[in-house]
Structure 1
Amino acid sequence: MNNALAIRLSFDEENMWVHLVDGRTLGIPLSFFPRLQNATVEQRARYIFSGNGQGLHWDDLNEDISVEHLLMGYRDTTVTKRQAATAG
């Protein structure tokens, strides 16, 4: 997936918006990633692109997300369903 490279990231109250180099924008529900959902605005803003835009990384939150996996519909699998249900 050569064009699955992130160039910009933004958030609203319910979604993370991943803007790709090829012009697409992915809207990802924050509920897919409880660490991001529970993070402050400041914590969400402290991300870096890893792998030249192939990934998103938040050091403070211990969160790494692959852009390719977002395109495939993956969500956070490191938390239990019970933790995710109580996160909101």
Structure 2
Amino acid sequence: MHTSKIEIEVPAAENITVTEDTLRVYLSDGRTISVPLAWYPRLTHASQAEQNNWRLIGKGYGIHWKDLDEDISVEGLLAGKPSSESQASFKKWLASRAPLIQQDNNY
């Protein structure tokens, strides 16, 4: 028996929205992918301004949040892969944000 390999073309992201609990990505082929925001702890712990400060990278095959040092690929979203960041790395990042959060609370 012979099986042929299926070539899957990954569509590009065209736009995104971040809500209180969902990351929604609008794709060039007309689909919209929604995943739990909890899959991406940096986005979960970000301010709304930080969540909205994103740009498409790699001709739309990825999304980058400069303020959060977060990158998410469309391919990973389609495969249903949440963040693979280790707990140690995330905790270090979160601790580095503590002075920023404290500064914001003083205003």
> Under a length normalisation based on structure 1, what TM-score does the superposition of the two structures give?
0.86
Of the three residues 50, 55, 59, the one matched with 1:52 is: 59
Q: Which residue of 2 aligns with 1:30?
A: 37
Q: Distance in 1 between matches of 2:10 and 2:81?
A: 18
Q: Percent identity among equivalent residues?
A: 36
Q: Distance in 1 between matches of 2:9 and 2:53?
A: 25
* Higher share in strand: 1
* Higher share in helix: 2
Give unmatched runs, 5+ long, in structure 2.
Answer: 1-7, 95-107
> Under a length normalisation based on structure 2, what TM-score does the superposition of the two structures give?
0.72
Larger radius of gyration between Structure 1 and Structure 2: 2
Give unmatched runs, 5+ long, in structure 1.
Answer: none
Q: Distance in 2 between matches of 1:23 and 1:3?
A: 12
8 Å CA contact 1:3, 1:22 repeated in 2:
no
Amino acid in structure 2 at the alignment position of 1:10 = T
Q: Distance in 2 between matches of 1:55 and 1:49?
A: 6
Matched, 1:9 2:19: no
CA RMSD in angstroms, aligned pairs only: 1.9
**Structure with the larger RCO, 1 or 2 (CA within 8 Å, 6+ apart):** 1
